[in-house]
Structure 1
Amino acid sequence: PPDTVPELCGHALHPAGSLLRALGAGGGGKQVLVDSGVGPALGEALTGMGLPIAITCFVLAAAVRIIQGSATVACLTAVGLVMPVIEQLNFSGAQMAALSICIAGGSIVVSHVNDAGFWLFGKFTGATEAQTLKTWTMMETILGTVGAIVGMIAFQLLS
């Protein structure tokens, strides 16, 4: 019936509103990182600690992900921070691919309330915030960590 169309549309768009709110907050947080210079400072600090480059890639991406929330922004930021170091070391294409896996793994760990995916999962499954932290966050952290370990092993084997 025509009178239920607005109700159906409102019901369908409700989860999208939460998602858009989380995306907007994530974008604002990313801009704060860029404008404040925290990203380059973090990159310099980690590379200055003498960590292996594969671990540095993972930690940088994970730090940006935890602070900012977006996996895409975490990947792009981590690449931008480590690329000057990586370019100087003349890694092979295969080694670069392994480092990319480390960055990708770091970019999905510890998904929490500043991540649109966290809210999307929670809204569409009907999970509470606590349940989403126990399921979605843990799954993403395990997935990202295992992926990064595989990337680190591959990098070592290719070195």
Structure 2
Amino acid sequence: FLYLVHHPDVVSNMQKEIDNIIGKNRLPTMEDRPSLPYCQAVIYEVLRMASVSSGAPAHVLSADIEVNGYTLPKDAWLIPGLSTINWDPSIHTEPEKFNPGRFINDEGQLFGYEKVYTSFFIGPRTCLGQSLAMIEMFLIITSVVQKYDIGNEPGNPLVSLEGIYKGVHIPSPYNLCLKNRL
């Protein structure tokens, strides 16, 4: 929710999409997910910007491989830098900018989001809870955004998005203000 506090325009766009598709008389369900591409794009952009982990489990190379002119020997440990992928300008234009629109094509459809699945690791070591986590994030975030305006706690400065790194990324403690919008 910290990224939403920093980007009230994004919250407003999510609310418009939710109001147009679902209305205000029922909560979002998983059946609504395909009809809410902007809301999904916001979740993907938060995952891209604020991966919990910057790395993935190490892989041991089963053979020598060459990467960009460098030979990596068999039995070398390879540790993927997942946050590096999420912030790579050759993959994401203006990676330092919070922009859910990067995952919406000209037809208004979701695309390119598979690039951020690195937040859950990749390959055979991918997180077993990925599907459940995505379902929970969608339902919780869209339900809160539907019912409340989200803002910074009055009288307090915005908390930095930097957070703390202790093996995993931990956001700095913050309070937010929820105002009933229904």
TM-score, length of structure 1 as denominator length = 0.29
Structure with the higher strand share, 1 or 2 = 2
Structure with the higher helix share, 1 or 2 = 1
TM-score, length of structure 2 as denominator length = 0.26
